[in-house]
Structure 1
């Protein structure tokens, strides 16, 4: 195999020519949300009463009136057919972490060779996929197959296009025949309602009008890698597991720090623009694109939306990025750590709370030390994160994220909060009884009269913090790039709802006792911060000193692996939390824990068997072929003898490691999924590491013409 030829092919494999792009006015007036059935569009297609009923459900969470279903279905079908759709699907988020869809045609034969296009209210509201064919964690067995998808009116329907047509997608939830949630969306919707129930009474104490509705808002930054198709399909590890299980460190990685925010390659920029146009048509407000830190790594980020819609949009972003990359001879990798030794990819979830009037409850304003409402809700977040470190770590736990957490700008497994110097100073002053404002923002002069003075934030940023305050929101940085954001946001909504509910009851008691509001809030903030200040850390999250301080002095959890974290998911505390808030009952929570164990086991098992296959069928033969070639060198060559001896020694090392891995792969560790998962972590992963160590040494020894795999040098830099 001629690897140089592969390089040329990979570099030239760009199949799409430039296409006309819309003007800015066309983008705003014609392109954005073109394929979304918004409430504004439904307003012109529904009767006034039907529209108001649907609006009340979509915007205020009121119970859906089933009598309007036929009217809405007709309007939806007519709109979809005008857009070229021939089929519809209930689009939902099963516990696989991705999305699912079963397409049905609008076409309905009516006899005598005649057909009509029909779509009823019953078909809109409910469909029936096979519940036993998705992960259920014991909620459904093979002989208990019935499950239902149900329309979610709070998220708009949309059109997904393909080369030969289009499909109407109806955002839906997925439940068992017994009504138990089999998806990620149902608990998210329940958690939004729980947050509203908890926060609205608190807002009333601060003077909010009756009926103010609260939801969580979210903007999720998506990091990803792009590699040439030419290389991807020559790497069984990328195809099977999404990450490279082998690969020697290249001479150059991200050391020069020249890729971050660098000029975007034309091929990549064309791909990004194409993807953005599709996302705009789907009403997804993507705002930012740029090169990320690692070579071959990039980022796309939308602005804030309601967290329910943001979760739908996040799934669509991943889907569009993956499908669009193929048009440009590229493959989009969402794995958290596709390449060892350089930055992995995360999905930073920027979370806040907002009212239906558009007020951000975590916006400090110009005088945060005087903004009692802001300080109240921020202290509630501190309490929530401190009391539920285990849940926050568990909700981002996966075999793939384990490889990412703890280095290269990814946060450590220890959950802590970064507040920044100004906010930390305000809380410290309140705790000490001083009050007032110490550090404050100002202006920075840049040393030249031609340059403007720029506003300076009063606090720095911290890339090593898993949960950081970033001006008017909290950034949950521990979420993995391949992960659905629905469960992490469900957890955030739940723990903050619980915390706000407790603090509101205590605040109400102080007010009932005659304490003025400002005084009562100041007391509450001081008490809460003093009780939970151990969770606040503004320093280096990677340092060994922090790890020792966090565990031994502060008593914080350090759940290093997925299995350490998932163990906590079914604790009595967490069962009570989700149960009291009516987000997940005990069976639903236990099912999710079981699925996380199962996915962990299967993920590592696939990686272990793929490692065995590649080492046995590709890498070891390459070493033996090179040794055979060296034997053809005339005797007396010290170079040939030396290289042969070195390659032979490492090949033997690979062979021995491979035998050990083969034994561990075959053993599985037991019959129960928990036993198998722990076997994967404790035995298979270390055995894989030994195989990789030897294989990566061989990559640096063997003639490149004989090496069977595209290298890091090629995959990371050929764009």
Structure 2
């Protein structure tokens, strides 16, 4: 194994950079060339057909069979001209990744390429092996994929990819996209009702999303020598190098040549697919980077982020690199998140979280801001559950990642404005007085300058004209947390509308009614607002006093999905039924159990088959040296002390691994999935992972570097 490590290091150090050439000097020349978008539809479809497609995209209207035939014919012609041979329904099952089954355009019996409208609109893949949470039995394995016209068709490789939803034959959602689309409708309906209190011209609200994707990059050969990275996505062992991220010199530093070429390459491919990648830079940890796109409609943004990760993986192979999307692939340095920047946009072009110079628009801004804060307060545990995963548990609360306590950061200016509004809500407004000036609302435009410095320890922060949900993990499908956010804000806006109507029906002027309700909501949700250090012990204590949850482990956080309150809010907005929520809860628990189980087995395998034999061989060598020194009458104290240290850590390592294996065996007999998941959290991960790692990492410092079998942190993080 040590020889394998040395060979991998030589390969990594000798890799040449792969040159990359863009198709054109101007990105606009090739942006979206592999997308059947608006331009392609206008050029290839009859005006009447194009109108029906745009209505389906904008209004959700159904596409009739004859229209589907015309669209499929145009899509086939476009795809074949680009050398495409197959098509697939591209969907997002509850595995966490995307899925696809490729069918050939060529029909061997007919001797021609075929692509019917029915194949565009719907397919019936075998759904037996996809997670279903008990929704249907294996013998009832049918599932359906149905075209989502609101997300553009694209070409990936030589395959035409049609974005679709994925449902069981009984109609329950088996994917991330279906509930997301329903949540978009829910928040649109609730938001429009509030917007029309201010502007009757608003007919539609679209949630907008920008996803900042963090990731690590290491050499492919170094990755291959680490069974833990290959099997679990993270390094279960590895002592921190002398130099990690403490100098902060990697952040926004010069990008290594190989990585920069890789970035340029995957950006080109992403741009061809219409993914508006805009920003690239080094992140805080060595070997860590970030890519960020421009904002898009939320459904498209989620699809693009899932597609982008796939593109990055495939392009990395070409550069002999490996992308790590795990939330904590390396202990002791920055973890990776997927910061979700969320806002609401009207069909009149207004960002509802963008302050302006208009008093009316600023009251509207405050209304949506306060409603969002209230939603986060009322459903904080549900938001926490939406970002829960085995990987994210390692990240939350460490190295710039927010803690598991859900809180909202608004910044000093907005905080003072909300405090002012709460305190002065009883101001009597005389005829002709400027109510907005008296309430301090006219100051809101200044927040753009005051809030650019974000609180990086806050899981949910207002950042000028949007909310940034920083707690989402880097591997996650953003549709999960964004569905929850859309639903809880929609629910709060619905209640807000009722409360305002109650005020106006008692005779209060509309603006006064709005202010009165906002004042109450500000007071009710004040406990969730926090401007300080989320890592401090004081905040944990203060949060507990405020009644805020601190659910550090996934199985405990996921309980919230089955709360009566959660089931009711999803059902009320027709996003997920009780059956679907129970199924997802079971799927997420199963996923957690399997991931912790895999990590436990990898730890045991590495410890028993690699670390312990290596340490024993080194120990024997030390014993021989100590005996030799003693025979020569020389001082062998240092050798004896090292032997004792090695022995102590070996004994601890073997004992804890064996106990962990026994705990795993006990838990595998547990039939209750909730108890099993919580047992894996407490009795396997919490009880043994740190102890086993501590022993191995200490042995790494003691055993001769030439003999150590695992590629070390200093090599993985710094050799590019």
- Confirm whether residue 155 of structure 1 aligns to residue 151 of structure 2: yes
Q: 1:132 aligns with which of 123, 128, 132?
A: 128
Q: CA deviation at 1:15?
A: 6.0
Q: Is the 8 A contact 2:363 2:441 kept in 1?
A: no
Question: How does 1:314-463 map onto structure 2 within 5 Å?
Answer: 314-366=305-357, 371-433=362-424, 435-436=439-440, 456-457=449-450, 460-463=453-456
Q: Secondary structure at the match of 1:171?
A: strand
Q: Is the 8 A contact 1:421 1:439 kept in 2?
A: no
Q: 1:547 aligns with which of 540, 553, 557?
A: 540
Q: Secondary structure at the match of 2:465?
A: coil
Q: Is the 8 A contact 2:238 2:713 kept in 1?
A: yes
- Confirm whether residue 588 of structure 1 aligns to residue 564 of structure 2: no
Corresponding residue for residue 595 of structure 2: 603
Q: Secondary structure at the match of 1:690?
A: helix
Corresponding residue for residue 189 of structure 2: 197
User: How many pairs are equivalent?
Assistant: 696
2: CA distance, partners of 1:495 / 1:583: 11
1: CA distance, partners of 2:219 / 2:478: 27
- Confirm whether residue 142 of structure 1 aligns to residue 142 of structure 2: no
Q: Is the 8 A contact 1:108 1:117 kept in 2?
A: yes
Q: Is the 8 A contact 2:381 2:557 kept in 1?
A: yes
Q: CA deviation at 1:230?
A: 1.5
Corresponding residue for residue 698 of structure 1: 699
Corresponding residue for residue 680 of structure 1: 680
For residues 379-422 of structure 1, what are the alpha-carbon distances to aligned partners after superposition, in whole Å with 9 as ceiling and x for unaligned? 11011101101110000000110000012111111111101111
Corresponding residue for residue 13 of structure 1: 15
1: CA distance, partners of 2:160 / 2:11: 38
Q: 1:295 aligns with which of 283, 286, 297?
A: 286
Q: CA deviation at 1:228?
A: 1.1
2: CA distance, partners of 1:494 / 1:438: 30
C-alpha RMSD of matched pairs (Å): 1.8
1: CA distance, partners of 2:549 / 2:360: 31
Corresponding residue for residue 187 of structure 1: 179
- Aligned CA distance change for structure 1 residues 650 and 262 (closer, same or farther; 3 Å): same
1: CA distance, partners of 2:504 / 2:120: 48
Q: 1:532 aligns with which of 517, 525, 528?
A: 525
Unaligned runs of 5+ in 1: 444-454
Q: CA deviation at 1:549?
A: 1.0
- Confirm whether residue 118 of structure 1 aligns to residue 118 of structure 2: no
Normalising to structure 2: TM-score of the pair?
0.94
Q: CA deviation at 1:368?
A: 7.3
1: CA distance, partners of 2:417 / 2:590: 45
2: CA distance, partners of 1:358 / 1:437: 22
For residues 339-386 of structure 1, what are the alpha-carbon distances to aligned partners after superposition, in whole Å with 9 as ceiling and x for unaligned? 111110000000011122322111112467971110111111011101
Q: Is the 8 A contact 1:369 1:435 kept in 2?
A: no
Q: Is the 8 A contact 1:131 1:140 kept in 2?
A: no
- Aligned CA distance change for structure 1 residues 222 and 73 (closer, same or farther; 3 Å): same
The structure with more helix, counted as a fraction of residues: 2
1: CA distance, partners of 2:42 / 2:21: 32
2: CA distance, partners of 1:611 / 1:133: 28
Q: CA deviation at 1:438?
A: 9.0
Normalising to structure 1: TM-score of the pair?
0.94
1: CA distance, partners of 2:577 / 2:445: 46
For residues 39-74 of structure 1, what are the alpha-carbon distances to aligned partners after superposition, in whole Å with 9 as ceiling and x for unaligned? 221112111111101100112222333331111111
Corresponding residue for residue 430 of structure 2: none
- Aligned CA distance change for structure 1 residues 367 and 709 (closer, same or farther; 3 Å): farther
- Confirm whether residue 47 of structure 1 aligns to residue 40 of structure 2: no
Q: CA deviation at 1:5?
A: 5.2
Q: Is the 8 A contact 1:242 1:333 kept in 2?
A: yes
2: CA distance, partners of 1:663 / 1:380: 50
For residues 105-155 of structure 1, what are the alpha-carbon distances to aligned partners after superposition, in whole Å with 9 as ceiling and x for unaligned? 0001235xxx10010011111111112210000112211111110111111
- Aligned CA distance change for structure 1 residues 80 and 459 (closer, same or farther; 3 Å): closer
Q: 1:516 aligns with which of 496, 500, 509?
A: 509
Q: CA deviation at 1:21?
A: 2.4
